[in-house]
């Protein structure tokens, strides 16, 4: 159910969409982006990669399955002990038709109530098709949702939208990273390997995927040092997903270069793909409207294999399919690209000691086509150990 308050979504180019409040009443600012996922809205809302973004759902009806205590993706050191992974990271939520009732045996409450509880301002009842067409044409842009006392005259709301910082140049990974680190133990027995996971906005399901393969995961803050990794006796390093502009993540890039210099196996996803790419000498750029959804086809050029993937990124690496290039750590290749637009979706060193992909192989809401990449990294760890 929506609220009874009038609400407005104001875009920085002056376009205004009017509807009713959804979730908390007030004001929120962020970058307007759209996600094409038909399922998994709870995983989307709790994904730290959406920090400072106002997410537009293209699925016409949202909230049918309510909210539960298990599906959140925002586990961190502060919430790890209690198991609360349900912090909502999106800045705001935009939907067409909120479900009037919750219908799931797993639900512990409604989406509307959870948005209110966490103070997330949203808007419902607008033509999301027209909005998405606008964002595809003009590109993702700064925006704001206003309701209640915050719903003032159009000029004042537009000024507030324009005065907020752009996502270009935003250093956000440290804002979502764990402060002190934590450990996820392997499932069913002793650890086969130890992996240091650099938390740039890591999702709950990622350490779980490692744990299912007998790997102990030490989740470390985004400003972790090489000394910390070596002190753990880590067999390998993982670079997580995360928000913001990868061009600002010089600390993570420096750490990645140090890890590569040590010859430690390395695996990265999403933001971690951009970090590895930068460490190997590639540049990044801001995409027009990015890739956000769970139906994006990716080609692995070494095998010809195509995977349908979950993605959430507004930046990408410069490069062409199959491009090989020299790095201080040996030859590397652009290993994956998007079948839709040719965007770079993966890089690897030709000696296979490090690789990364732009998508989410841990995708909790699916699809699971890319889960084999965790097995690939495990095999790499096994080979080094031998």
Task: Give the residue numbers of the binding site for L-glutamine.
Answer: 49, 242, 244, 271, 274, 312, 314-315
Q: Is the Cβ–Cβ distance between 344 and 316 less than 8 Å?
A: yes
Rounded Cα gap, residues 363 and 310, in angstroms: 6
CA dihedral 347, 348, 350, 353 (to 10 degrees): 170
Q: Of the listed 270, 313, 336, 345, which one is catalytic?
A: 270
Q: Of the listed 12, 31, 73, 362, which one is catalytic?
A: 362
CA dihedral 301, 302, 305, 306 (to 10 degrees): -20
Q: Which residues contact 238 (CB under 8 A, 6 or more apart)?
A: 195, 196, 197, 198, 206, 210, 217, 266, 267, 268, 272, 377
Rounded Cα gap, residues 347 and 351, in angstroms: 12
- 270 belongs to the catalytic site: yes
Q: What are phi and psi of 142, to 5 degrees?
A: -65, 145
- 362 belongs to the catalytic site: yes
Query: Which CB contacts under 8 angstroms, 24+ apart, belong to 81-87?
Result: 85/46, 85/204, 86/42, 86/46, 86/114, 87/46, 87/118
Rounded Cα gap, residues 301 and 261, in angstroms: 26
- Secondary structure letter of residue 67 according to DSSP: B
Q: Of the listed 134, 291, 336, 360, which one is catalytic?
A: 360
Rounded Cα gap, residues 250 and 172, in angstroms: 12
Annotated binding site: 49, 242, 244, 271, 274, 312, 314-315
For 168-223, the DSSP string reads TT---HHHHS-SS-EEEPPSSSS-SEEEEEE-SS--THHHHHHHTTTEEEEEE-TT
Catalytic residues: 270, 360, 362
């Amino acid at each position: 159910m929506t609220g009874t308050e009038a609400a407005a979504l104001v875009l920085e180019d002056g376009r205004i969409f009017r509807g009713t409040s959804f979730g908390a009443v007030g004001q929120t600012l962020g970058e307007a982006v759209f996600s094409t996922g038909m399922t998994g809205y709870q995983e989307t809302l709790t994904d730290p990669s959406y920090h400072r973004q106002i997410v537009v759902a293209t699925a016409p009806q949202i909230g049918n399955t309510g909210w539960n205590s298990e599906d959140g993706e925002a586990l961190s050191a502060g919430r790890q002990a209690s198991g609360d992974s349900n912090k909502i990271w999106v800045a705001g939520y935009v939907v067409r038709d909120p479900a009037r009732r919750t219908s799931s045996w797993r639900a512990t409450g409604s989406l509307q109530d959870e948005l209110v509880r966490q103070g997330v301002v949203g808007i419902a009842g607008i033509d999301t098709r027209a909005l998405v067409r606008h964002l595809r044409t003009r590109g993702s842009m700064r925006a704001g949702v206003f309701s209640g006392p915050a719903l003032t005259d159009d000029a004042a709301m537009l000024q507030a939208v324009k005065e907020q910082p752009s996502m270009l140049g935003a250093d956000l990974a440290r804002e979502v990273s764990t402060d002190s680190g934590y450990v996820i133990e392997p499932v069913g027995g002793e650890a086969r390997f130890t992996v240091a996971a650099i938390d740039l906005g890591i999702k709950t399901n990622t350490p779980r995927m490692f744990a299912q393969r007998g790997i102990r995961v030490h989740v470390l803050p985004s400003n972790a040092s090489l000394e910390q990794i070596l002190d753990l006796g880590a067999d390998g390093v993982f670079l997580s997903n995360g928000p913001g502009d990868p061009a600002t993540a010089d600390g993570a890039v420096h750490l990645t270069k140090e890890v590569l210099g040590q010859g430690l196996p390395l695996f990265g996803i999403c933001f971690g793909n951009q970090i590895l790419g930068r460490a190997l000498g590639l540049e990044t750029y801001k995409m027009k409207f990015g890739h956000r959804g769970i139906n994006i086809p990716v080609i692995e050029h070494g095998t010809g294999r195509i995977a349908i993937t979950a993605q959430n990124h507004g930046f990408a690496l410069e490069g062409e399919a199959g491009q090989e290039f020299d790095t201080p750590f040996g030859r590397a290749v652009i290993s994956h690209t998007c079948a839709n637009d040719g965007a770079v979706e993966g890089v690897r060193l030709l000696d296979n000691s490090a690789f990364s992909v732009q998508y989410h192989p841990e995708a909790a809401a699916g699809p699971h086509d890319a889960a084999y990449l965790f097995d690939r990294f495990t095999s790499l760890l096994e080979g080094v150990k031998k």
